[in-house]
Amino acid sequence: MERETQFIGQSAAFQDAVERASLAASLDRPVLVIGERGTGKELIAERLHRLSTRWDRPYVILNCAAMPETLIESELFGHEAGAFTGATRTRAGRFEEADGGTLFLDELATMSMGAQERLLRAVEYGEVTRVGSSRPIRVDVRIVAATNEHLPALVDENRFRADLLDRLSFEVITLPPLRAREGDIEVLATYFGQRMAAVLGWEEWPGFGPRALAAMEGHDWPGNVRELRNVIERAIYRWADPEKPVDALSFDPFASPWQPVVRKPAAKADGGDASPAPAETAPASTAMPTGPVSDMRAAVDAYERQILSDTMARCRFNQKVAAEALGLSYDQIRHALKKHGLNQ
């Protein structure tokens, strides 16, 4: 899938964050981008670069969480041949690669204290020293960093350097989660839906049905825009009739009656290493009775009632969401709830 670079949204909270990024872009100062996963931190970082005076110079990205602690300093500052096992040749680091441009440090909060100390010197003095070398190299790099952590709290816990935070937080842009972006869910869903329909060769975009729209608005979207995109595109490609409005969403792609059950270790009496307990065949709350059954109809009704009760509780008693989770229509679940006296 191509890289998404457009900003879609009309809510005031989202537009304020985008405008602040546009304003900060022209200033050659560090910027911190804060937000939950899937809120678009990478897009804001790229906007800061593209609208800056460095737009035609390198834009280098480093995901700090993807780098082992033993390699993060080498990745950032480079190394000399023979500096450590496996360093067979001299290699420039990301700071040197980004010289004259922008270095985007994603997942900044995962950086070790040792790497933070060296990063502080690079930011403060504009110098980096390759691992295994004693000769500093001058660099001209603008730092943009992103995290989903509250950095001042990490400073209080001695997990992040206060002096580094001071130097990186000239401007802090905090992105709102999708659940706080009033009116943007349907706008984004329509955008992603139209694009996916075009990919599938649909002649026209049929829109969304009332059940799908209600489910969207009732969902918390912990994965934000990234999660919304996946849910919408999955719904489009699974929809059987392109001429009718898409009216079924699947929020959990792992949901299945045959999904594996996590094995829980059984604690030993002597406190020794625990061995895995046998996997259960189903969650205890919805497991079929295994003892003798004298009335099959009553047993099936009791099992059906338990499934409905558990699903309604899991879906916060939202009938539309529960119906989608069970693969039922809205009328079907209302009938089932009435049958079992669960529609109060």
Radius of gyration, CA atoms only, the chain: 26
Residue with tokens 């204290």: 113
Domain spans in the chain, listed from the N-terminal domain onward: 12-176, 179-238
Residue with tokens 């594996």: 260
Give the C-alpha separation, 107 to 117, whole Å.
17
CA 170 to chain centre: 26
Give the C-alpha separation, 268 to 276, whole Å.
11
The second-level CATH assignment, the architecture, of 12-176 is 3-Layer(aba) Sandwich (3.40)
The second-level CATH assignment, the architecture, of 179-238 is Orthogonal Bundle (1.10)
Longest dimension (CA), the chain: 85
Q: Please, where are the H alpha helices in the chain?
A: 12-25, 41-50, 69-77, 94-97, 113-125, 151-156, 162-168, 184-199, 210-218, 224-238, 296-314, 319-326, 330-339
- For the residues 258-273, what does the mean pLDDT come to? 64
pLDDT digits (tens, 9 = 90+) for 131-145: 888 889 999 999 999
Pairing of strands 31-34, 137-138: unpaired
- Which of 133, 141, 64, 38 has its CA nearest to residue 97? 141
pTM, rounded to two decimals? 0.73
pLDDT for 228: 97
pLDDT digits (tens, 9 = 90+) for 8-31: 999 999 999 999 999 999 999 999
Q: Supply angle C-alpha 147, 148, 150, rounded to 5.
A: 95
